[in-house]
Amino acid sequence: MWRRGAHSDAAHHLPAAGAGGPTSAAAAGAVRRRRRPGLSCRPSHLFFALLVALFTASLLVVWQLLPIGDGDAAADGEGAPPPPDGGGTMRFSASRMVLRAFDTESRLEAARSARRWWPGLEPVRLALVVGSMNIDAESLMLTTLAKSLVGLRYEVEVLAFTDGKAHDIWKTICHVNVVSFEKLKYVDWSKYNAVLVSSLEGKRVVSILMQEPFRLLPVVWLIHDDAVGQHLRNYPEPHLSVPNHIEDWRAHFNACTNVVFPDSHLPLLYSPLDTGNFLVIPGSPIDIWAAKRYGLSHSQGTIRNQHGIKEEDIVVLVVGSYLFFDELPWDYVTVLRASAPHVMDMARTKKLGVQFIFFCGNGTDAYNSAFQELASHMGFPDDSVKHFPMTHDIGNLLMFVDIVLYGSLRQEPGFPPLLLRSMSSEIPIIAPNLTVITKYVTDGIHAFLFNSDDPSTAASAFMRILGEKGLLDTAYSVALEGKLLSKNMLAYDCIVAHVKLLESVLHYPSDARLPLSFSQVKERTWLWDPFESKAALGNSSSEDERHIHARIAGILLGESAQSNWTIDSDSNDTSSYDYPSQSDWDDLSEVEIFEDIEMREMEEIDERVEKPLLTWDEVYRNARKSERMKPEGNERDEGELERTGQPVCIYEIYRGEGAWPFLHHGSLYRGITLSKGGRRPRSDDVDAVMRLSVLDDAYYRDLLCEFGAMFAIANRIDTVHKLPWIGFQSWRAAGRKVSLSESAEETLEKTMAGENHEDVIYYWVPMYTDQTSNFWSTCDCLNAGHCRTLFEDAFRNMYGLPEGVAALPPMPNDGDYWSTLHSWDVC
């Protein structure tokens, strides 16, 4: 079973200069005659134009200072798209840098409505590729997702590159297989219905899945790491000069069905690689995990001293949306201009020192100066405002702030990740009553909300928090409730969104047992208990982290550039990696250009050198020598010699380079490829497309599948096959470990070399399959009940059997797979 709009801009067509001949000249003359004499532009006209320009500029300034939108307005359809329901997924658009609601029809429900049930159906198999099985947030999310998928009757197999402490947790959920990078090419990916990749190291897997016969397999790549995205920031204009390794990453991303991120910040970093398949599924426990771990490894007092914050000072952290990474925080202005004066008066009345820290934008000098000018217009004293760029560690800021103000009034499609991180850090938050926030948070219980239609009400939220000597007890209790809520607040929605995504990309084969729908998901919380029982939160080795980042660094630029990546073994800061700079890439590009020019010059010089003419004997000898040096022709000759005297040749049908590792070598087997020009090097494989031209048409090639290879051999069979017996076997037989063993091969050859059985059909099947049904029952199950009828008609026509004679051969379900081969003598 192979599975595997245009738009036209409105153009204003203007006549070219000089076109139109006399008619154009007459028209121009008429225009000149209609013009009024006198000055073309009077002083009064200039004054009026100046007034219009000033009025327009004033409107633009007022528009910038007005609220961008609120929950109600956005829901009405004029602003940002309304937030999705539970389990929502956002598609990332590279063209406009926005998130929009994503809702695709479930293929599961379509398959269920047209499905006929048969006994013995295979489950839908999913491969989950992970980098390691460490105790971390990524493993926490993936184990919970895998448990939900298993509960929905999917069959999940985990393929991990390295083992870890979470191995026992994984084993209680699904089958686990630790594979090395060298063994990846021997994995039969065709046995899975979809592949989920959850590691940057999974790029190697995607490389394999980009080849035939795996290209049509749905691949969902879950990106949780920003290593590649941070590297891409070195190239602000990727459309002008893109290094080869970035093009390589873009090709791998493009090969995936979807690339999924846990928040809207990561796709902004990876935007140079976006080809339209980026999605954001919020709700990952990464922020909660990071808050727990950071709090256990850092001291609040130490960090406050490092930033020069007094113990009695109240620090307010102002955060907003990730969607406007490098822009000035215009959406904060409305809230702060309405509330900041009241807060400062309140602080003076209560004799409190209040400082505001803004987490927004970048750290360039131009941005800092623009921000300081903007802050001065908000009414803040110069010494009460600090700015940190979004590249700064948010965990460091959350360790010493007392209040978090979410100042953005923009309606986001998902719960703001910075707000979730603040709640998980047990900090009282002040936020507008946007729909996406009030869906999860209750005012006065989990947070302090103000009216987004009236930003001045944010001042009343501060009054509910600030006391005479600091924060009120109510603020601490609300912060604690917010922390407890944030732990599993988005777990169900996140899991459901991933399941819905799988249902929209999976192709459910006719022989598959359909799983349950996403509506049957039972997990409402993350699997915290087994992970917390490992007592690993805050205790994982920084050495393990450096090894993980070293492996990631090794694949950022490809294996050939691993030597450029160094790690400071005395530092725990992951930012100390020696990333190649732009000058390094410029030097490398110059070297490549120089080598290319030198090679071309040498070729031109070689062409101009005068060479003596050869005799016909010398030309003939050189041609024969060149022919002997060709590996393909030589190997085909050797293959023919090896099969001389053999009773049988089994043709292994394959398609694409991805199947090469599963093919046999030796005189008993010979490959036949369904890909034009896709033969193995140094082999005597048969090109099915060259022998049967109809296979050059993709429609017929996909329709006939592996039967097309059989028809190609049957077409003028004497020109390719000269042995008395012929066999066919799919490359999948070796991949799924159901091919003939050495003892079975010997038995097959001895049987066929013996007495003449005339027309006989041999078949082999593994003995560990279900023995309660015979061959024909199984075949009917796999072919919607038509197998027995089609074979009976075919055999009856082939051998001219009368109506009273049974046309189907008796194929019993007993016998040893490795030593016994069942046959049917038709004569």
H/E/C letters for each residue in 116-171?
CCCCCCEECEEEEEEEECCCCHHHHHHHHHHHHHHHCCCEEEEEEEECCCCHHHHH
Is residue 502 a contact partner of residue 220, using CB atoms and an 8 Å limit? yes
Confidence at residue 547, expressed as pLDDT on a 0 to 100 scale: 52
Confidence at residue 34, expressed as pLDDT on a 0 to 100 scale: 41
Is residue 177 a contact partner of residue 159, using CB atoms and an 8 Å limit? yes
Confidence at residue 433, expressed as pLDDT on a 0 to 100 scale: 92
Residue among 706, 707, 821, 710 at smallest CA distance from 775: 821
Give the other-Cβ count within 10 Å of 93's Cβ.
Answer: 15
The two structure tokens encoding residue 335: 């809230």
Residue among 456, 464, 398 at smallest CA distance from 432: 456
Residue among 499, 507, 504 at smallest CA distance from 216: 507
Instruction: Return contacts of 32-40, CB within 8 angstroms, 24+ apart.
Output: none
Tell me the CA distances in angstroms from 594 to 360, 488, 587, 600, one per residue in order.
Answer: 44, 58, 11, 10
Q: Which CATH superfamily is domain 286-486 in?
A: Glycogen Phosphorylase B; (3.40.50.2000)
Is residue 129 a contact partner of residue 202, using CB atoms and an 8 Å limit? yes
What average pLDDT values come out for the chain (827 residues) when binned by 10 residues?
37 39 41 42 59 58 42 36 40 39 65 64 91 91 95 94 92 93 90 93 92 92 86 59 75 93 85 87 90 84 84 88 68 78 83 86 79 75 80 88 89 85 94 92 94 88 88 94 94 93 88 86 92 61 50 51 37 42 66 80 78 73 64 53 79 92 89 89 89 91 90 90 88 86 85 71 63 66 76 82 75 40 31
Confidence at residue 551, expressed as pLDDT on a 0 to 100 scale: 55
User: What phi, psi does 561 have (nearest 5°)?
Assistant: -105, 15
CA 205 to chain centre: 12
Burial label, 738 (beta-carbon count in 10 A; 0-12, 13-18, 19+): middle
The two structure tokens encoding residue 15: 């006549």
* Per-position b or e across 274-295, b if 16+ CB within 10 A of its CB: beebbbbbbbbbbbbbbbbbbb
**How many whole angstroms separate alpha carbon 11 and alpha carbon 599?**
47
Tell me the CA distances in angstroms from 358 to 111, 320, 424, one per residue in order.
Answer: 51, 9, 19
Is residue 810 a contact partner of residue 775, using CB atoms and an 8 Å limit? no
**How many whole angstroms separate alpha carbon 136 and alpha carbon 595?**
46
Confidence at residue 255, expressed as pLDDT on a 0 to 100 scale: 93
Q: Where in the chain is the domain with CATH 3.40.50.2000?
A: 286-486
**How many whole angstroms separate alpha carbon 159 and alpha carbon 157?**
7
- CB neighbour list of residue 594: distance below 8 Å, 6 or more residues apart: none
Place of tokens 């100390």: 576
Residue among 232, 268, 274, 230 at smallest CA distance from 251: 274
Tell me the CA distances in angstroms from 17 to 26, 27, 35, one per residue in order.
Answer: 14, 13, 21
Confidence at residue 327, expressed as pLDDT on a 0 to 100 scale: 67
- CB neighbour list of residue 420: distance below 8 Å, 6 or more residues apart: 287, 288, 486, 489, 490
> If residue 73 lies in a helix (H) or strand (E), which one and from where to where?
helix 71-75
Is residue 81 a contact partner of residue 100, using CB atoms and an 8 Å limit? yes
Confidence at residue 755, expressed as pLDDT on a 0 to 100 scale: 66
Q: Where in the chain is the domain with CATH 3.40.50.11720?
A: 95-234+244-280+506-534
**How many whole angstroms separate alpha carbon 446 and alpha carbon 429?**
8
The two structure tokens encoding residue 23: 């008619």
Q: Is the peptide bond before 15 cis (omega within 30 degrees of 0)?
A: no
Which DSSP state fits 242?
Answer: -
Fold classification of 95-234+244-280+506-534 (topology level) = Rossmann fold (3.40.50)
The two structure tokens encoding residue 53: 């320009």
The amino acid that residue 195 corresponds to is: V
Confidence at residue 39, expressed as pLDDT on a 0 to 100 scale: 42
- CB neighbour list of residue 299: distance below 8 Å, 6 or more residues apart: none
